[in-house]
Structure 1
């Protein structure tokens, strides 16, 4: 018999209980949809770390890909081919380009459907060059009027797949992308990140044919939200800066902001600085910088932030993951993963996937590139390390649509976040954090062991097969434990419903 905890007399029928329980769960799902609609779909956050700023000398580029609360992402590998397609046509906007017949092996995380384009987003190729595209940005009206975006120019959906297979260094990535923009134009304002074992380059598109790129100082990091961030361009220094041809004269001719004595400030010339930036973008820079450089005291609503920062301690992959999982965690602005119309957090319900692309030094080339993937929101997911010199990816990472699928890796981790949403503090701290820590320890141990075992495999084909199997084992290990976690959360949520309704349960 079910007794009301306050009166001990009134009975609650089972049907009424089920309606109340469904109301709470549906409320959680509805809130996810609401928060997804609060921002444009292409909102992301980027973290970039130079090799001398990391603990092990790796270069790291990372980003949360934001889109929708129920938009599954896949993880695939494209095989090397000498007879590839020669013409590429985007399904997103019919952007067309002729491609070389030879393209390298590369990984990517495309959308579950190709209806709107590929949206490969992030990956590492066989030359151990990593690419993440894109960090969506906004350009000011004056710049766009001077050089409008091109309807059928290159856009986010096509970038990874027409650039990453054909480059052999981070710098080459910038040059290839720049040449495409010169010939075909750009359809939108974006930030694109490239890295190899030595360098990290960050590139921004400011108008239809105008772009700039900067090499990240090796001992610095950057937190980049959805805004143009590249400042003063010293274009005579070609080792550190690259830009579209005649950029300086273009800025002068159209009297854009940011020009002084032959030098252009790209963000001032093409970017924005408005109320939306104060609420949605700048606070995310503050949150990332307070985690990596806590010694520097700043405010989330201050007017400007330094782009390249020095961290208080050497940065690890795990620390980058902490930044990407943050919702102003452990501060008075903590949003518990929601956007409460004060400041927009880094971690959001519309995180489709979060990637950390690590190019490791001092190891064999075949195991240098690691693609760490956390499906859905990293705050309630886990980063699984994947070697990229592989011939296949785990089946559970190749399935999933916009409807729940218990076998899909995306939906396993998405379900964890959904179940935690009604009880963000108790469920996250009591149940999710311990499993995350446990799985992280296991994955790091497995990665270390796989690195060691791989050194004894001489044949390329055998090594690729071994690394593919290692990825499979890591994926199964993590997903199995999160499946068990989800089952536990479902069980616990039923008792939470009664507790919130002040209902005591007894037999009889």
Structure 2
């Protein structure tokens, strides 16, 4: 599988969010439009010896610790040929991880710390990290040790969060990386380009880095600036591909959340840390991750000329296999903290369904996905991709109905979370986990019914839109 130049990530500090909770979010974009995925709960394990992982892609292999926490993940269905790529989840310690945002180091730095061909790559990075970490900062440190031990075969950036902290970690060469804590009152966006800027090596509360990175940069004379230590300038790329493929996505996210910001889509100096005057909601993130330069001349569905409409790569794509918002809540009772808002269709047209992560199972329509389309299959992946394809096929005719469908679902999701939280007030331990597992089944059933109704409506309307028609006297 080729994940080159894919994904868009958004990170939100708890004071910058509408609910006062941390959120990390990402589009998992693949090279091909159809790479079926499933959503499942991986059970915890204790005292199990001999657990071993091996990548079918680059030959990386490693033993796993004997103990691991329960976590949820969204892997490929065809793991044997395409690799695991578990991508995202929240473990039972309420630590969230999303991996990875493909990121590219420049030739100057890679000359002296080249990528490691059989190192730890995206396909197994979640398996090797998420079951074993107890906080977002611990995630950075734990993965940093793995990269020191095994090396990295690609540039990979990783998102971590817990109820208090959000961290973004950029691995850009075979062994070197920097991570930055997102301030509580801020958000950040990244899109396949080194994002972190000035690093303060005296501020260990908000920055972490690979062993010897300062000496590495000094020894090989890699810092191009007269002053400061700008990670993006030292390790990142700034080329024509970045200006048309990467930076416009960051610009547009800023445009949505900070429309007053005077930025240019092709600027290499778009700020990483951003603040906005309003609090950011899950719906705001969904709007950004599904966007395609809406209401600008760069919108592929818009009315600009072809040169503008095809100038920049949009955020939401047909090859977005899943999109997710991982919310870790700080204002609820124990056991209710983790919610994964998961979208399996095109994020522009499909809902982000809220799943409580303190659960032991997922509805079979999510946990089991056929490799190929089967109209009789009960599959969330294929259901939502069918819905997305139909909306796009008659975009101007169907988009308003699709927005109404999504608006109503988000209203119902908010009420679902509120009611589920209240219904759990007397529960704890295994009883709470069982209750939340059943609640997840209920929200799937509700979503499935609404989506099938939406599909039926579009099919009936689409039949009436056929060009194979002819006006005739109904009395004939």
TM-score, normalization: structure 1? 0.88
Q: Distance in 2 between matches of 1:149 and 1:170?
A: 25
Cα distance in structure 2, aligned partners of 1:191 and 1:167: 17
Query: What is the aligned partner in structure 1 of residue 414 from structure 2?
Result: 444
Match of 1:241 among 207, 213, 227: 207
Q: Give distance in 1, aligned partners of 2:224 and 2:453.
A: 55
2:24 corresponding residue in structure 1: 61
Q: Deviations over 1:413-459 (max 9, x none)?
A: 10111112222222112x2111111111111111110000011224x
CA distance in 2, matches of 1:207, 1:258: 17
Distance of 2:473 and 2:315 partners within structure 1: 43
Q: Is residue 307 of structure 2 the alignment partner of residue 347 of structure 1?
A: no
Residue of structure 1 aligned with 2:36, choices 64, 68, 72: 72
* Distance in 1 between residues matched to 2:226 and 2:356, nearest whole Å: 46
* Alignment partner, residue 13 of structure 1: none
Distance 2:345 2:110 in 1: 33
Aligned residue for 1:415, secondary structure, equals: helix
Q: Select the structure of larger CA radius of gyration.
A: 1
Task: Please give the secondary structure, in 1, of the residue aligned with 2:160.
Answer: strand
Contact 1:71 1:352 in 2 (8 A): yes
Aligned mates of 2:77, 2:432 — CA distance in 1? 29
The structure 2 residue matched to 1:155, chosen from 121, 126, 129, is 121
Q: SS state of the match for residue 213, structure 1?
A: strand
Equivalent in the alignment of 2:251: 286
CA distance in 1, matches of 2:43, 2:21: 25
In structure 1, the residue matched to 2:427 is 457
TM-fit CA distance, 1:312: 2.3
2:192 corresponds in structure 1 to 226
Whole-angstrom distance in 1 between the partners of 2:43 and 2:3: 34
Residue aligned with 1:497, SS: coil
**Residues 506 and 126 of structure 1: is their aligned pair in 2 closer, same or farther, counting only changes over 3 Å?**
farther
CA contact (8 A) 1:71 1:401 kept: no
Structure 1: gaps spanning 5 or more residues? 1-36
CA RMSD of aligned residues (A): 2.0
Counterpart Cα distance in 2 of 1:225 and 1:117: 23
Once the two structures are TM-superposed, the CA of residue 495 in structure 1 deviates from its matched residue by 2.0
Q: 1:215 is matched with which residue: 178, 181, 203? A: 181
Residues 387-414 of structure 1, C-alpha deviations (whole Å, 9 max, x = no match): 0011101110022244213411011110
CA distance in 2, matches of 1:282, 1:203: 19
In the other structure, the counterpart of 1:92 is 57
Q: Does 1:137 align with 2:103?
A: yes
Please tell me whether the aligned partners of residues 70 and 402 of structure 1 are also in contact (alpha carbons under 8 angstroms).
no
Three-state SS of the structure 1 residue aligned to 2:234 is: helix
Change in CA separation of 1:148 and 1:447 when aligned onto 2, cut-off 3 Å: same
What secondary structure is seen at the aligned counterpart in 1 of 2:421? helix
1:435 to 392, 396, 405: 405
122-131 vs 397-406, greater mean Cα deviation: 397-406
- For the 8 Å contact 1:251–1:264, the answer to whether it is kept is no
Q: Secondary structure at the match of 1:242?
A: strand
1:172 equivalent in structure 2: 138
Output aligned runs, 1:20-419, within 5 Å: 43-67=6-30, 68-84=32-48, 85-115=50-80, 116-258=82-224, 263-336=228-301, 340-406=309-375, 407-419=378-390
